Each structure stands twice: as structure tokens, then as C-alpha cells.
Chains A and B, each alone.
Chain A
Amino acid sequence: MTALRERPGGRGLPAGDAAALARLGVEPGSGGPQTLIAQATAVVAALAAMFGALYYAVSAAEDALEVIGHSSGPQVVATTELYYALSDADSQVATALLVGGSDPDRAEAAMDRYEQRRGDIAAALLEAHRLAGSAEAERRTIESVMSRWGEYQQLAAVALLLARDGGYASGGPPENVLEAYREAAELMSGRILPQAYNLTLENATIVRESYDAASGRIDAGLVAVALTGVAALALLVALQVFLARGFRRVFNPSLVVATAVAVLYLFTGLTVLDTEREALDEAKLDGFDAVLSLERAQAISNGLHADRVRFLLDAGEADVYEQTYFDKAQQLVYLEAVSLPRYQDALAETGRGGELTGLVGDGLDGSGESERLVEAYTALILADAAMREEGGGPSERLALVEGARAEYEDALDELSDRHLERFESAVAAGEDAIAGFAFLLVAAMVSLGVFTFSGIAPRLREYR
């Protein structure tokens, strides 16, 4: 910092001085102000590249968190809620038809719940439509679900009317009621529910795509930030060495500050990106994927129950419904088994402990809630097995699994909520970590540019 000489470049030094400087490793500066400006410009350019890379990676994280946390992620939940409401509405119609006049209270309760579901469905459809935004294919699917749901309600109304006029008390509904309901049921299970379910999967695809893209950008950003950051630091050091040699100033305060700030930002930038990467991984891999598995499990579990009701209701197609029930059970918890009875046996043996695969298996995380869910699932499948062995009217048989079903659905809800919370907090953590970061980047870039040029400004004046 001590000025040895006032004149630049050390030209015209006495020979003794020059030799003394050479021994100290200090060479007379070469080049003019252009060299100095070029070096400073290179420093600023490298810093700009570093900040550009940081901005690129941080905005990728921001975009991905937006998609995962606020559009397609929630759409997955919204569409499974839609699926659940649709499927439950259908169950209520089936239940009302099943019990007929034999149990007016139960039939009325079913109709009340059907009415409530109709409201839920209208709300869920609107929400799904809103979240779909400008995604054309998705909107078309939602609109198709809307119009088919309208058709279903008309068909169900006819079946319910026929049932009321028929006034049957026990032994299941007469053929004309079944006929009318079958059309509604086919529309629900064959058109409406698959579309709603596929909508959930489509949103999962959008989440995965944006996660993959963001991961790639953050990874590339990490490398680019590290490379450009190191280059900027090297250039800053080179500039200081140049000044020290050429102007015999050991330290340049502005450049020292600039270097310190650049180191700080390089370090902070890498740390923030790493934090983002972790938050994104947590939100997607630990949170979202588990939420998706369990949301799908809820949808499939509904279908499982619908297959059970149809198995009881429609003796002619009972075999098919037993097989689709079995297939869904295997989708929920996969166990090697060739038939439903074998599956029931296998589940009874391995229910507790052991690694489970399938949609329920994928959502397990070793928590108390997970344990409860596995127990509840096992109990439900076994209660169902006992039910299939029983004789009696369909509604009495169905009542045998109601308790186990309620417990299972509750356990599934509880674990799903747990993952949902984790997912939401990971998204929030990721967003907090980069809140205002873009503004900071601009501020830092400007201040570093100022420091660098103010560092060389006094030396430039020496050329005049």
C-alpha cells in the first residue's frame, strides 16, 4: 500500500533501482492503460458469467418449485380428490340401490352423501380446470369428464327412481334397476374414472419433467458457477499481481474487497445451489413421489371397494370383479400369488415386517403411521376374504368389511397427510432459500464492478 514511486510503469528508473526491484521479483509494468482496462474488463466479465450461471441455476430451481409446489403438484392432489369424490358418489348410488327399502336409514344416509359428493365434484372440477391453466390436452380431458359426469347423474337418477317405484325390501334390486344402474356404472368405471386417474398421471409427468430439467440446470449451474468463479478469482489475483509489480503497490484496497466479496458470493452461490438441489430432491423424491403413490393408492383403493360392491351386486359378473379386485390389491401391495386366496394367505404371513412394494409399499417410510397402514390393509383384505366366504344378502355381507375399510382409509389419509406436509415444507424451504436472491445477485454484480474499476482508477490516473 505504500507508494514507492509516483510515475507509472517504472520506466526511467536508475539502473541500481531496477536491478534491486528485479531481485525482489518486481518487474517494471508493461503495456499502457489499455492493458489495465482489458484486465479489469476480463475480471468483470468473468464475474458476470459467474452471476449469470448462478441466476440461470437459481431461476431453474424457482421454476421447478413453482410447477411442483403450486401447479402440477397440487393438481395431482386435486385430481385424486376428484377421482375419490366421483368414485365415492358412485359407491353411494350403488349402496342406496343395494339396500333399497330394507334399510331406509342407510339408504337415506347414502343419498345424503351422494348429494354432498355432487357438490365436491363440481368444486374439484372447477379447481382442476383452473390449475390446468393453458395445458390444452388436460383441459380437454377435464371438459370431457365434466360432460360425462352430467350424463352419469341422469342415468343414476333413472335407476334411483326405478328403485323407489319398485320398493323392494330385501334380496337385492330387481333386474330393471340393475339394468339402469349398469349403464351408469359402466360410464363411471369405463370412462369417467380412467380419465380422472390418467389426469393425475399426466400431472405427475409434468412434475417429473420439470424436476429433471431443473436438476440438469442446477447441476450444470454448479459446474459453471465453480468454473467461472474460480476464473474470476484468478483474474482478480492476476490483476493485483500486475498492479503490485507494475506500480509497486502490495495491496489494492478496492480489489481486496472485490476479491473477498467474490469469494463470499462464490461460496454462497454454491451453497445456495446445493441447498436448492436438496430442497428440490426432498420435495420431489421424498415428498411428491410418496404423495403421488399414496394418492394413487387412494384412488385404486376406491376402485377396490367398487369392485367389492359389484362382486356382491352382480352375480353374473362376480368372477370378473373378483379378478379385478385381486389385480388392484396386487397393485397396492404386491405379493407373488396366482389367485386371490393365495394372495390373502401370503399377506397374512408377511403382512408385518419385510419390504413391501406396490403403491402402498412405495409410500411407507418406517413411521408409526406406516405401520398402522400396513396393519389396516392386512386387516381389510382378510375381512374381505371372510366376507367372500359368508352367505347372506349383499348389504349384510358388505357390512362385514365396513369397520376395516374405515380404519384403512383413515390410516391411508393419515400417512398421505404426513407426506403432504413434508412435501409442502420442502417446497417452502426451497423457496425461502432463494427468496430475493435474484435481487442480491444484481446488487452484488454492480458493487463488484464498481470495486474493480475503482481499484484500477487511481492507477489509470497515473497514466495521464
Chain B
Amino acid sequence: MIRRALVALCAMAMVPLAACGGDEEESILDKDTLRIGVRYGLTLLSEEVDGEFVGYEIDVANYIAEQLGKDVVFVPIELDEREPKLLSGEIDLAIATYSITQERKQSVAFAGPYVIDHFDLLVRADNDEIATLDDLEGGTVCEVEGSNAIDRLTEEHGVDAVIRSVESYEECMGLVGSGEVDAIATDELGLAGLALDADFEAKLVGARFSQERIGVGMRPGDTAGCEAVNRAITEMYQDGPDGSASTAELLLEQWFAGTVLGDLSRFPIPQFEGCE
């Protein structure tokens, strides 16, 4: 009872805050401005054009921030910076092609997912040899450090391919264009943008070998913040009046209609991971 009374006293600010200890996690809900970590240089998803960030993920980030009533500062980050920058507090949210895995959940928290993506393979359009995952056996696949696509491919699906690790997708695309590597493995939303930018004709194999639930990375412990983000995403997927398309459908349509992705209606409503 004494401890509870002390907590209550702290809550009522009747004793100096220093006496209350700092173990209480700060919530994103207490901030006026959210620093959102986003990828950069990903066509259609997240890129900087004339000093402004644009793309599907940027729109999702803006929508969520607007629902929460917060201002946004975008912080461009690398794949392998997502976790450290979240944990160090440099960014408040990571909306950066961050797929939820049970393994990642051991160190960071996730709201969402806000979209269900699939891993697929991008190859040259004139490549007829690779039609399924198994055709990659003995071939070469390009990987960007920090992505989990290659783990899915080699560990989960047991594909025995040569892995070429580089630092950026542009590099990968150059290698596929020149024929040095056979394929790029990453999520299809990312591949749609890469295919659009390619200086060669590219296509998706359609292997869709993994389902990726793309979520909002958060610091662990902020349950209220995580739940508020989930509510924003729920709203995003809520049909418009008279059964018109939801914001989520409109955003997918706006960015990915007419790309290699094809039919967009197959994108499901995400089942949330749940906030712990």
C-alpha cells in the first residue's frame, strides 16, 4: 500500500519528480512531434524528391501521425539502423519496410501490420529459366544487408543459391541488369519500384515465397502508444461511406496501380500482432 501511495503521490506531483524514479516508459502519445524513421531511395515506397519525402510508406506515416494528432519529422534510416535508432530514442517510430517477426519482437515492439507484403524475386523480363523458387538452385541472388529475405529463402525454404551481398538495391539492380546475378529477393512493394526504375525490362517471378507483415516499429513498453497506432490503422482500413474504398485501398491504388504487382485487391486487411 505504501508503494501504491507513493506512486499516486508521484502522479499527483506532490513530491519532486526525481523521487519517482524514471522506470516509466515514455509514450509517443506524450509528444507533440514524432520522429519517424523511414527508408530513402525506394521508388514508390519512400524517397526524397526536392527535399520532400514521398511514397506509399510516407503517406501511411502521415496518416497515422494525423490520426494521433502529431506533427512529423522524417528521419531517413538504413535497414540495419531501425532497431538501434528506435531503442536509442533517435526515432519514435520506424515505418520502414519493417516486417514483424517473432524474433524481432524479442527486442522491439510492433504496431500493425499496416500492409501484408510478400517476398518475391525480380529477374530480367527475358529470363525464362527462373519461374519458381527451386529454379534458383545454384543461381546467384543479390542481397542488401539488414533484409531478412535471404534468410527466408535459404533457411526456411532451403534454397541453395549463391548470395551476393551489396549495400543498396541500385547496386543489385545494376548486377541483375548486367546479368551478373540472376535475381533480387525482397518484398514485392519494393520490387515494384525497382522494376519501374530499371534501365532494363524487369518482371516478378510470382513465387511469393513468404508472407511479410509490415509493421510500425516502436520502443517496447509503450502499450498505449502501440494501441493508438493500431486504432489509426483500423481507421485506415475502414470502408468509406456507402461502401466506398478505404484509405488503405486508395493509397495502394495511388502508388501501385499499373506496376508489376498487378491486381491490388488481393492485399488483405492485416490482422494485428497485438500490443504487449
Q: Which residues of A contact B (CB under 8 A)?
A: 137, 140-141, 144, 186, 189-191, 193-195, 197-198, 201-202, 204-205, 208-209, 212, 216, 219-223, 226, 270, 274, 277, 296, 317, 319-320, 322-324, 326-327, 330-331, 334, 336, 338-340, 358
Contacts and interface: CB of A to CB of B under 8 A. Distances in A.
A202 B231 contact: yes
Contact of B9 (A202, A205, A223): A223
Contacts of A194: 268-272
A179 to B, nearest CB: 14
B174 interface: no
A195 to B, nearest CB: 6
26 contacts: A190-B266, A191-B268, A193-B271, A194-B269, A194-B270, A194-B272, A201-B230, A201-B272, A201-B274, A201-B275, A202-B230, A205-B227, A209-B224, A220-B8, A222-B4, A222-B8, A223-B5, A223-B9, A274-B1, A296-B274, A319-B157, A320-B211, A327-B101, A334-B106, A338-B151, A339-B155
A334 B106 CA distance: 10
B156 A340 contact: yes
Contacts, number: 109
B234 A319 contact: no
A97 B157 CA distance: 28
A358 B239 CA distance: 32
A223 B152 contact: no
Given A141-B238, A223-B5, A327-B101, 13 more contacts: A186-B266, A191-B269, A198-B272, A201-B227, A201-B272, A205-B230, A223-B9, A223-B12, A277-B4, A323-B156, A323-B211, A330-B102, A334-B106
Q: Which 10 A-B residue pairings sit nearest by Cβ, starting from the closest?
A: A190-B268, A219-B8, A194-B271, A330-B102, A338-B155, A205-B227, A194-B269, A339-B156, A223-B8, A220-B8
Nearest to B8: A219
B34 to A, nearest CB: 20
B146 to A, nearest CB: 16
Nearest to B209: A319
Q: What interface size band does chain B fall in?
A: 35 or more
A204 B227 CA distance: 10
B149 to A, nearest CB: 12
B223 interface: yes
Nearest to B7: A219
Contacts of A190: 266, 268-269
Given A223-B8, A327-B102, A336-B103, A320 B155 contact: no
B47 to A, nearest CB: 29
Contacts of A209: 224
Interface in B149-206: 151-152, 155-158
A305 to B, nearest CB: 15
Contacts of B268: 186, 189-191, 194
Interface of B: 1, 4-5, 7-9, 11-12, 14, 101-103, 106, 118, 133, 151-152, 155-158, 208-211, 223-224, 227, 230-231, 234-235, 238-239, 266, 268-272, 274-275
Nearest to A208: B223
A142 to B, nearest CB: 12
Contacts of A326: 156
Contacts of A339: 155-156, 158
Nearest to A317: B208
Nearest to B266: A186
Nearest to B207: A319
B244 to A, nearest CB: 13
A339 B103 CA distance: 12
Nearest to A197: B271
A324 B271 CA distance: 13
A198 B271 contact: yes
B208 A320 contact: yes
A338 to B, nearest CB: 4
B142 to A, nearest CB: 21
Contacts of A189: 268
B12 A137 contact: no
A259 B274 CA distance: 52
A204 B274 CA distance: 9
Most buried by A among B152, B156, B211: B156
Nearest to A357: B106
Contact of A219 (B11, B106, B266, B275): B11
B84 to A, nearest CB: 20
A324 B211 CA distance: 7
A193 B266 CA distance: 15
A299 to B, nearest CB: 9
A140 B238 contact: yes
Contacts of A221: 8
Nearest to B208: A320
B269 to A, nearest CB: 5
B5 A137 contact: no
Given A319-B209, A323-B211, A338-B156, A198 B230 contact: yes
A336 B210 CA distance: 19
A400 B212 CA distance: 29
B235 to A, nearest CB: 7
Most buried by B among A195, A221, A296, A340: A195
Contacts of B101: 327
Nearest to A226: B5
A224 to B, nearest CB: 8
A142 B66 CA distance: 25
A181 to B, nearest CB: 15
Contacts of A358: 102
A265 B60 CA distance: 55
A221 B230 CA distance: 32
A186 to B, nearest CB: 7
A331 B1 contact: no
Contact of B269 (A195, A202, A327): A195
B118 to A, nearest CB: 7
A140 B118 CA distance: 29
A258 B203 CA distance: 87
A331 B102 contact: yes
Contacts of A191: 268-269
A323 B152 contact: yes
A219 B210 contact: no
Given A319-B209, A331-B102, A137 B238 contact: yes
A363 to B, nearest CB: 13
